[in-house]
Amino acid sequence: MTENSIKYRLEQREIDNLSEFATKSRYTKGRKKPVEPCDMRTEFQRDRDRILHSKAFRRLKHKTQVFLSPFDDHFRTRLTHTLEVSQIGRSIARALDLNEDLVEAISLGHDLGHTPFGHCGEGVLNELVKGGFHHNIQSVRVVEVLEDLNLCRETIDGILTHTWGYKPKTPEAQVVQLADKIAYINHDIEDSIRAGIIAESDLPKDCIKYFSSIQSKRLDKMINEIINNSVGKPIVSMSEEGWHYTTKLREWMFKNVYIDSPAKLEEKKARNVIKELFYLYSEMLKPVCEESKIERVVTDYISGMTDRYAVERYQENFIPKGIQNGANEDYLFKLAKIID
C-alpha cells in the first residue's frame, strides 16, 4: 500500500482525527484468512460491504421484529431495525470521534443469525437444540461459516457481544450494544401505538417526564445521555439516571407488549411452525446425513429462513392440497375454440 492510495489516506485520517480510544482500521487484529489488499477501502469498510452484499442481510427484510405478518408496511422488520441501529450507532460514534465504519459493520451484521418470527422463533430453537440457541452466536456462525465473509476480528467481536450480558472489546462494539437497545425500545413503542396495543399516555409517567412522550425527543434524549456521559472516556455508557429510566421503560415494554399482549397472539402458531419443521427436517436427513450433524444442519437451515418461507414450507408439508390436474386451464382453451 502506497502513501498515495485512497486507503492509506483514509487510515491516516482516522489516526489524525479520531479519539485516542477509537479503533483504527490500520491496526486491526486482522482476519482469519489473508486477503488481497484493497487500495480504496479500509478493512472495516470492506467488512461493511461484505455484510451488505450477503444473502443473510437481504433476508432480514422478511423477518419479524416484533409483529408477526403485520397488516401494513409501516411496521418494522428485522431489516429496518438493523438500519435504525446503524443510524443511531453512527450518530453516537461521530459525536465521540469513534470509528463509524466499524460501528456500521457491526450494526449491519448483528442480527444476521436471527430466526424467523423474531424472539419467538429463537425461543423455540433454544428449547429444541442441545446447548440452546442464541441469535448473536448464530450471527457469528453466519459470517464465519455459512457465508464465510472472513471479517475482521473486531467486527466479529461486536456482532457476538451486541447482546446484553456480553463485554465488548472495543468502544465501537459498546456503541452498538447500546444503540440496539435504544433502537428497539423506541421503535417498538411507536409500532405498538400504531397497532393500538398501547397509547402514549400508558407509558410510565416518570419515564415520560424524563424523556418526553414524543418519539423523536425521547430518542434524542437517550442518544445525548450516552454522548454526554462518554466524551473523553474509554468506556461508552449512558448516564446512571438515563439508564435507570431506559431500563424501566424496557421492563414496562416486556410486561405490556413483548409478553402476553395482542402482539403475541399468533406466536403459538409460529412456534408450532418452527417445531414441526425442525422434527420434519431431522427425519428427512437421517438417511443421508451423519446423525451427529443433523441438528446443526437443521438449525442452520431453519434459522436462516424468512417468516414467509417458513410458512410456505409448513404449508407444503403439513397442509393437504387438492389434486392439480390443470382442468381449469384446459377448459379455458376449449372455450376459446367453441365460442364465436
Residue 148 backbone dihedrals phi, psi, to 5 degrees: 45, 60
Torsion of CA 315, 317, 321, 325, to 10 degrees: 120
Return the pLDDT at 261. Answer: 74
**Closest to 28 measured CA to CA, from 52, 2, 46:** 46
Angle, to 10 degrees, between the axis of helix 153-160 and the axis of helix 43-52? 50
Looking up cell 446512571, which residue turns up?
240
SS3 string of 60-85?
A: HHHCECCCCCCCCCCCCEHHHHHHHH
- What pairs with residue 64 in β-bridges? 77
**Closest to 266 measured CA to CA, from 64, 61, 62, 60:** 64
Return the pLDDT at 332. Answer: 56
All domains of the chain, ordered by start, with CATH?
Answer: 41-264 (1.10.3210.10)
Return the pLDDT at 266. Answer: 85
Return the pLDDT at 15. Answer: 98
Amino acid at 328: N
Residue 62 backbone dihedrals phi, psi, to 5 degrees: -115, 30
- Could you tell me the three cell numbers for 30? 486482522
What is the rounded distance in angstroms from the CA atom of residue 107 to the CA atom of residue 88?
Answer: 9
**Closest to 102 measured CA to CA, from 299, 252, 94, 331:** 94
Find all residues with CB under 8 Å of 241, minimum gap 6, and list them: 210, 225
Return the pLDDT at 99. Answer: 98
Return the pLDDT at 262. Answer: 77
Find all residues with CB under 8 Å of 254, minimum gap 6, and list them: none
Find all residues with CB under 8 Å of 59, minimum gap 6, and list them: 304, 305, 306
Return the pLDDT at 122. Answer: 97
Q: How far is CA 133 from the centre of its chain?
A: 15
Torsion of CA 121, 127, 131, 134, to 10 degrees: 20
Return the pLDDT at 260. Answer: 72
Return the pLDDT at 4. Answer: 79
Amino acid at 152: C
Instruction: Evaluate whether 48 touches 109 at the Cβ level (below 8 Å).
Output: no
- Could you tell me the three cell numbers for 129? 437444540
User: For residue 277, what are the CA distances in angstroms to 119, 246, 317?
Assistant: 17, 38, 9
Task: State the pTM of this model.
Answer: 0.93
Residues of the chain with pLDDT under 70: 1, 69-72, 263, 323-340
Return the pLDDT at 213. Answer: 87
Amino acid at 54: S
